[in-house]
Homo-oligomer: A and B are copies of this chain.
Amino acid sequence: MPSDDIALREQGTAFLPKFDSQGLLTAVVIDSRTRDVLMVAFMDRVALDATIETGFAHFHSRSRGRLWKKGESSGHVLRVEEIRTDCDQDALVIIANPAGPACHTGAPTCFYRRLHEGSLEPTAT
């Protein structure tokens, strides 16, 4: 990529989301109240547009191969408060207010275990 394009992408005000070879970028969802990482998922162009237009987080389900509104069956939607992009615009942080547990297991966050001496154990928080 020419250096002018890199500067534009990294320092400019234009939102130029960069999707990978599979048409996806990474979205990290943060709880706006606790600042905990709730989940990590992928967005294609359609999911990103739906998120921006509706104010609720949408993703591309790789396993189901379709647009997925988070909480569409559980009701545990994620109301988006802010969207941040990283330097090269291939990852987003979605700051959101969750309507319920973010994880399909019922846990508040998907990151409920930590690595300790080669095994997993519950996190304190």
Contact = CB atoms under 8 A, between A and B. Distances in A.
Interface of A: 10-15, 26, 28, 30, 35, 37, 39-40, 52, 82-87, 91, 93, 103-105, 107, 110-115, 118-121, 123
Nearest to A115: B83
A26 B12 contact: no
B107 A87 contact: yes
Contact of A86 (B10, B14, B39, B52): B39
This chain: how many copies in the complex?
2
A46 B67 CA distance: 32
Given A15-B118, A52-B115, A84-B113, 12 more contacts: A10-B105, A15-B115, A26-B26, A37-B37, A82-B114, A82-B115, A83-B115, A84-B123, A85-B111, A85-B114, A86-B110, A87-B105
Nearest to A111: B84
